[in-house]
Structure 1
Amino acid sequence: MSDSHWSHVYPWQSDLWDSLIKRHQQQGLPHALMLTGVEGIGKHALALETARWLLCTRRIEQHANVACGECHSCRLWQAGNHPDFMECQPEDDSRQIRIDGVRKLNEFLMQTPQISRCQVVSLHPVEVLNGNAANALLKTLEEPPGESFLLLETERLGSVMPTIRSRCQRLTLATPSPQQSLDWMQANGCDPLVAEQALRMNQMAPIAALAWVQQQRHEQHNHWLQQLQQWSNGSLPLDAMVAIWKKDELTGILSWLGQLSADLMRAHMGADHSQLLEPAILGCFDASTLQPAKLIALHDRINSTLGQIQSGASYFNRQLLLESLMIEWQTLVTNPGRD
């Protein structure tokens, strides 16, 4: 039996996958299913595998809980051009899903399936639907045409319009246990200590943690921390620092700054190295001298800005944003970096 016969879900999803298939075989899946959970635990992989299985033309007669991998539908899937499957996501470097994308989705679902018994749409992330796109999707969610399934994914359920949430059945993906995540990361070549740190930095989500390791984010964070310390003690000018940071992904920098400010708040309250995401921060700044009110205000501003950028709701001038954050940072560092 070839690999294509096997389910492509992650090890920690096996029970969820079995229950999903059993549910469909006994009572049918809802036409609109919303997969929720933190980034990096396999929501999209599960959505794609669900789509592959739903589209398989042999699954019913074979009572199979995995796609056969051999029928015409499965071969088209493997070739990446299945006519009864569509992905809807931000296009043209936009952070939002716009109305044109949803119109294409609606037009697609009005067609008759060409190969399979149903049509499947994967829409992700649902929280970045802009207002017009969300409204255009509502009617389809209320009255899905024909035999169709919409698989929506979100990492920030609270940012999804209530009218969209109420028209979908929710499937919450739990974060795997620390041991499951460590075992999987070690099986993919990660050193145990590096894997542990990567998991802490990524909400214990193994897929995101593995990408963090592969992209050498640990080294990148060390560079950012060194530059932040240099700016704080006056050895690196602000314009030089911002010029360096402008080359990196803005959301990555903001996420890291948010984690850093949270670590400093924990350290200010007495947390030790083992309780911090970036323990190296203790060697750079004296948390006991920081002003908690200003630190909390900066933390809230960073997270609010990050949420607006991720949702596509706002645009920020990168240089001005980084400069203003660093000036605000310097106002709370009353005892900058130690040698």
Structure 2
Amino acid sequence: MTATVEPTPATMRASVMTGVGALQIEDRPVPEPGAHQVLVEVAAVGVCGSDVHYYRHGRIGDFVVEQPMILGHELSGRIAAVGAGVDPARVGQRVAVEPQHPCRRCPQCRAGRYNLCPHIEFYATPPIDGAFCRYVLTDDDMAHPVPDSMSDDAAALLEPLSVAIATMRKAHVAPGTSILIAGAGPIGVICAQTARAFGAARIVVTDLVASRREKALQFGATEVLDPTAVDVAAIEPVDAFVDATGVPAAVVSGIKAVGPAGHVVLVGMGADEYALPVSHIANQEITVTGVFRYTDTWPAAIHLVSSGAVDLDGMVTGRYDLEHVGEALDSDSDPASLKSIVEPR
């Protein structure tokens, strides 16, 4: 049995990816929440690079789109109905959705690394549908309440902010440290803001595009570099390097810029394999790791935005409805675009 404010419709509209570069609007059944689930009426969905990659290429590594799928995993909304095991008072609550459903029983889940659960179901990762639609289901504890002072857009963008928080934790960014970030796209800019919020004193951002370098300065960078004009590997050594490009040359030069006992975090999607400067890594005892989503980051993300330490609203550069999801996915071709929002009303 579920509790509702008002009856939910039987069907909803959804933007469905039917093939590489192909989308269509379909009517889909509105799902019913299970005992410990909530039904969220979606308010805003951010467009992520992974959505774009699936749309253009039909796959990311081993994740292949083999059947029609709804994209979108950065979302916020309002709880429209709850399952029998959820407090009915949650109906009507504004929430940001953590878009993953771990099994909660495997060794990785029990160790607190539920992002590495081999059985995880993640929005908009084949074959799981995402949020470019009117309603979605999520586990009740993955629907995080947000304050009324936070916009729907910002609540949706807590998801990429969570990636940045997980990155800064792995990069050991602390007050007074220095960090180099390759790429001034959405994740690079959010990482710059988050590094500042974590107390980094020197935040260097590289990008090929001048307008994006200027954006990075507006959102936390203390200096920006054109990697075609400057030897990034020869800059004053930094404590941490974050790659948000996936470009092998950027990764190699960034690692070489890291000083003794520093940390490297690979975030960007690029080639599956490439050569690394192993002698520098070994001789300087540099730790190299990746980031695969996040665990327990939403409370920190909500605090950073609510306190004003991170500005997510200022990163929104375009809004689209369900009929124009294709345009939203292609908006990254404009260097002035940072984050596009789909409003599935």
Judge same fold: TM > 0.5, yes or no: no
Greater strand share, structure number? 2
Greater helix share, structure number? 1
